[in-house]
A and B are shown apart, each in its own frame.
Chain A
């Protein structure tokens, strides 16, 4: 039966043959789970999104009640909502850890520049997806976050104001905006995400996975051309990735079933009130995964420069292939300056994440400024400290 099918339509056979032939370094550690976990979470968002779409009404007066009634009246309606909402947060948990892995082992370095850039673009696209989705429940936080982000675009010189009118389709964020963001969130942006998942995977398969040693396994091959330090992706890494997925699902579903509001980080209390055009919540804060960039925005006492710094803080990741002058890739062989810089960057990022969710106070502004300087220093001083840093020689083959 399977022969009959494979002879006529070899899709599964080709896929398995490909995975069996695809050689991955044999020393990948747990940091390498997060790529496949990102795929798992995107799949979760797609599937639960389709189910939410069956009940959601993109209308200002019905948006929240369609969600709340679904959660109460549809069998397992609450499950789809919580899986999707917590899933959005976990997408960012996973891709931040995935990116940290890249910083740790130099995965942005040659020959993986384009692979890294497709990933950077995906970060921006995921933010767009999260932002457009966040508006859909049409709660107070949805509405006012939309207005705050929209006024950021106004900082663009000359065209800002007309661009904002163009995007929101009204003089203020309104029902019209809700409708078009709905279209973006469920059709346009997901299609772009799918395309980029494809490009990212294609680029990965062309250059192969990096590894914790940061050396190329393709440099040492046997007489058949198989890398000496490679193992077949299937079954070795399919089994490992499924194991990783199970461990991850345990954590993810613990949150979904026992703390689905995520202590106000996944579903904010303010967003359980329907949007009111006239009353701003006392404390507007972005979702935690956007808080670092928001903190950088607030740290700079100029609207235009703040918006520019915020944009820069995301785009600067794309410059890493040019900034890193170290002859080795992996942090295992880099010197103390690089290690310290990465440590400081992580502290600054977490600091910004915390500060971005706090209310404005002299203390939080000072903290945001210090962290912003450290954040950008990691990138902009990289050519200097990687140039002067010592390093251990990278091994010839995997250790």
Chain B
């Protein structure tokens, strides 16, 4: 019970100082790497149904005909959710922290507990990759990742693993709104066009209203 309390405190301190994924290399290749990582690690259980025609997702290996299918009552009534909109619903920080937040806890049926979502149904998919973390929280004021310490290393170095998880989080953020890059790109043109239109219209307005203000004075 006290462990849950500690975890709850950790969530509180985490929500004050967020641990957002870092854009380590250019975002496009990070998204592509994330799509591949997603296909390897997540796609066996989690579908990505709104990205069925997305070029980045398809070339990353997220093929619609291989999408996992679950019935309502599988996984004790909590089938793995579709993740197309997960960052829109929960935020990218949440997803990143969740994926980074598994630690060893023998009382949990799967042997791992999650610091962000205590009691999660999802088994730790990264045990071999990340190694095992343990909870070392002593001071409730510390940030989330000071609460967890790597006990033994996995196949990836801590930096490699962080890049891997970051790329998944960044891909999921992209999946929640693939229009973003193009939208912002044309947004500058739209606003630039309107700025010119505003200048023209202000000049025209002054030119028309000159005679009205003129005879008033």
Residues of B within 8 A of A242 (CB): 201
Residues facing B in A32-69 (CB within 8 A) are 65, 68-69
Q: Is B85's CB under 8 angstroms from A272's CB?
A: yes
* Closest residue on chain B to residue A73 by CB atoms: B53
Which of B194, B204, B208 touches A249 (beta carbons < 8 Å)?
B194
Q: Is A65's CB under 8 angstroms from B177's CB?
A: no
Please report the C-alpha to C-alpha distance between residue A269 and residue B87 in the assembled complex, in whole angstroms. Answer: 9
Known interface pairs A65-B50, A243-B201, A272-B176; A257-B208 also in contact (CB < 8 Å): no
What are 18 A-B residue pairs whose CB atoms fall within 8 Å in the complex? Answer: A65-B49, A72-B51, A78-B177, A236-B209, A236-B212, A240-B209, A242-B201, A243-B198, A243-B202, A243-B204, A250-B191, A250-B194, A250-B195, A254-B187, A257-B184, A257-B187, A258-B184, A272-B89
Residues of B within 8 A of A243 (CB): 198, 201-202, 204-205
Shortest Cβ gap from B108 to chain A (Å):
23
Q: Is A72's CB under 8 angstroms from B53's CB?
A: yes
Binding site for A on B (CB under 8 A): 49-54, 84-85, 88-91, 176-179, 183-184, 186-187, 190-191, 194-195, 197-198, 201-202, 204-205, 208-209, 212, 216
Please report the C-alpha to C-alpha distance between residue A270 and residue B177 in the assembled complex, in whole angstroms. Answer: 15
Please report the C-alpha to C-alpha distance between residue A274 and residue B191 in the assembled complex, in whole angstroms. Answer: 34
Q: Is B205's CB under 8 angstroms from A260's CB?
A: no
Q: Is B198's CB under 8 angstroms from A260's CB?
A: no
Residues of A within 8 A of B212 (CB): 26, 231, 236
Known interface pairs A236-B208, A243-B202, A243-B205; A72-B191 also in contact (CB < 8 Å): no
* Closest residue on chain A to residue B178 by CB atoms: A72
Shortest Cβ gap from A90 to chain B (Å):
15
**Within 8 Å of chain B (Cβ to Cβ): is A1?**
no
Q: Is B90's CB under 8 angstroms from A240's CB?
A: no
Digit string of A229-248 for contact with B (CB within 8 Å is 1, else 0)? 00100011001101100110
Shortest Cβ gap from A196 to chain B (Å):
29
Which of A82, A246, A254 touches B198 (beta carbons < 8 Å)?
A246
Shortest Cβ gap from A7 to chain B (Å):
30
**Within 8 Å of chain B (Cβ to Cβ): is A155?**
no
Shortest Cβ gap from B81 to chain A (Å):
8
**Within 8 Å of chain B (Cβ to Cβ): is A273?**
yes
Q: Is B88's CB under 8 angstroms from A253's CB?
A: no
Q: Which 3 A-B pairs have the closest CB atoms?
A: A257-B187, A78-B179, A243-B201
Known interface pairs A247-B198, A250-B194, A253-B187; A71-B179 also in contact (CB < 8 Å): yes
Shortest Cβ gap from A27 to chain B (Å):
9
Q: Is B84's CB under 8 angstroms from A68's CB?
A: yes
Known interface pairs A239-B204, A240-B205, A257-B191; A273-B198 also in contact (CB < 8 Å): no
Interface of A is mostly: helix
Q: Is A273's CB under 8 angstroms from B208's CB?
A: no
Shortest Cβ gap from B207 to chain A (Å):
9
Please report the C-alpha to C-alpha distance between residue A269 and residue B85 in the assembled complex, in whole angstroms. Answer: 9
Shortest Cβ gap from B121 to chain A (Å):
15
Please report the C-alpha to C-alpha distance between residue A267 and residue B209 in the assembled complex, in whole angstroms. Answer: 41
Known: A65-B49, A65-B50, A235-B208. 9 other contacts (CB 8 A): A72-B50, A72-B51, A239-B205, A243-B198, A250-B198, A257-B183, A257-B191, A261-B88, A273-B85
Please report the C-alpha to C-alpha distance between residue A231 and residue B213 in the assembled complex, in whole angstroms. Answer: 11
Residues of B within 8 A of A260 (CB): 177, 183
Please report the C-alpha to C-alpha distance between residue A264 and residue B204 in the assembled complex, in whole angstroms. Answer: 38
Please report the C-alpha to C-alpha distance between residue A256 and residue B191 in the assembled complex, in whole angstroms. Answer: 11
Residues of A within 8 A of B202 (CB): 243
Please report the C-alpha to C-alpha distance between residue A254 and residue B195 in the assembled complex, in whole angstroms. Answer: 11
Digit string of A255-299 for contact with B (CB within 8 Å is 1, else 0)? 011101100000101101100000000000000000000000000
Shortest Cβ gap from A385 to chain B (Å):
35
Shortest Cβ gap from B52 to chain A (Å):
8
Residues of A within 8 A of B187 (CB): 253-254, 256-258
Residues of B within 8 A of A261 (CB): 88
Residues of B within 8 A of A256 (CB): 187
Please report the C-alpha to C-alpha distance between residue A79 and residue B182 in the assembled complex, in whole angstroms. Answer: 11
Please report the C-alpha to C-alpha distance between residue A224 and residue B209 in the assembled complex, in whole angstroms. Answer: 22
Please report the C-alpha to C-alpha distance between residue A260 and residue B90 in the assembled complex, in whole angstroms. Answer: 17
Residues of B within 8 A of A82 (CB): 183
Please report the C-alpha to C-alpha distance between residue A71 and residue B85 in the assembled complex, in whole angstroms. Answer: 12
* Closest residue on chain A to residue B86 by CB atoms: A272
Please report the C-alpha to C-alpha distance between residue A73 and residue B52 in the assembled complex, in whole angstroms. Answer: 9
Shortest Cβ gap from B197 to chain A (Å):
5
Please report the C-alpha to C-alpha distance between residue A261 and residue B92 in the assembled complex, in whole angstroms. Answer: 14
Q: Is A253's CB under 8 angstroms from B53's CB?
A: no
Residues of A within 8 A of B198 (CB): 243, 246-247, 250
Please report the C-alpha to C-alpha distance between residue A350 and residue B5 in the assembled complex, in whole angstroms. Answer: 37
